[in-house]
Structure 1
């Protein structure tokens, strides 16, 4: 229950910063609204807010990688606490938040991550206040409880296709996504260059080649690779990836997640490291 309260409160406060305080919203936009206003230029909706720190009982804690929240203009939020994911909605009354419905996943987390999620649950309940400092990507959104506990969030930009070290995390066949073969996690990766090149590792052998980008289409040229023989699962992954990185494919980026799908329907999923890591 504490995790659920936390998730909803994050949504509420983010929605609060966007409600009636964005540039150009309503009469008198651009003027100071008084010391009680929370300004957000540009708006916080549609922003991937990463949790940068949590302070509970005077003790500051660094969050696990991936802890974040996103809010859409309709007042629905999704995010991750570093282990479990959540969706939530709220009702707002001025700068106060009334917690509404929320759902979270129930995965078992590593001990240190679970401690963080428990602390977040303690911090996010009751009435919370929000304050935005800075501008653009340098903004910080601070959410504070009546007891002085607080969480700081910063906007994290999406990863670009080129220049990013994309780590392969899954294989796609039709509408389904499968885990990588046993023992191959963190082995396969690829990086696209601005010069139309691509290089990386297929799970066993390293490779390089051409990958022309046009809109949402990738056109792979022949790939050159090393010729090592590896254990069965690694070779299985390599064969699967070679089937994707051949000819034309479409790609899409969702913040720091990349999907590539070949014309055959085979594809891959990959992720980028967190910004600044």
Structure 2
């Protein structure tokens, strides 16, 4: 079952990668935001599709978070920088679907190493699909560019 769902996510990402976002596209409806709206996620790892590169794990997951707002905006913490922009998704099945992020407006501070914030900001614009499996969100990047793995951040009481 997991292999089938994961394969479906990759297939969906590849299909969606061929699509271009139109500047004349209609504004997304409120229903477009129901899947991820109001959720906050922190980065667990960046998985490369190239075995030679492997996976990258952030030095501190709290430095890399995404907040999906109900109004269709996303707030990103990218190490010492912040980003904001639009997001939208369409639920294909209960655990996933298409996902578009950006373009993001990002601050440009020079973060101390080892920072993956700048690279992550670029990768977020390449997200095409997501699937939630075992409580984690896996974002598929266009053109087999890799997988961004996120875990939910518990709401503060």
What interval of TM-score do these two structures reach, taking the shorter chain for normalisation? 0.5 to 0.7
Consecutive unaligned residues in structure 1, runs of 5 or more = 1-159
Output the CA distance in 1 between the equivalents of 2:76 and 2:111.
16
State TM-score, norm by structure 1: 0.37
Task: Quote the residue 2:28 is aligned against.
Answer: none
Alignment pair present for 1:186 and 2:62: yes
Alignment pair present for 1:269 and 2:149: yes
Task: Quote the residue 2:99 is aligned against.
Answer: 218
Output the CA distance in 2 between the equivalents of 1:259 and 1:250.
8
Equivalenced residue count is 115
The secondary structure found in structure 2 opposite 1:170 is: strand
Rg bigger for which structure? Answer: 1
Instruction: Indicate the structure whose relative CO is greater, using CA pairs within 8 Å and at least 6 residues apart.
Output: 2
Task: Quote the residue 1:209 is aligned against.
Answer: 85
Output the CA distance in 2 between the equivalents of 1:252 and 1:180.
19
The secondary structure found in structure 2 opposite 1:233 is: coil
Task: Quote the residue 1:251 is aligned against.
Answer: 130
State TM-score, norm by structure 2: 0.62
- TM-superposed deviation, 1:217: 0.9
Q: Is the 8 A contact 1:244 1:266 kept in 2?
A: no
Alignment pair present for 1:161 and 2:47: no
Task: Quote the residue 2:118 is aligned against.
Answer: 239
- TM-superposed deviation, 1:219: 1.6
The secondary structure found in structure 2 opposite 1:228 is: coil
The runs of 4+ residues in structure 1 deviating greater than 4 Å are 274-277
Question: Which of 136, 139, 155 is equivalent to 1:260?
Answer: 139
- TM-superposed deviation, 1:185: 3.3
Output the CA distance in 1 between the equivalents of 2:42 and 2:103.
21
Which has the larger share of helix? Answer: 2
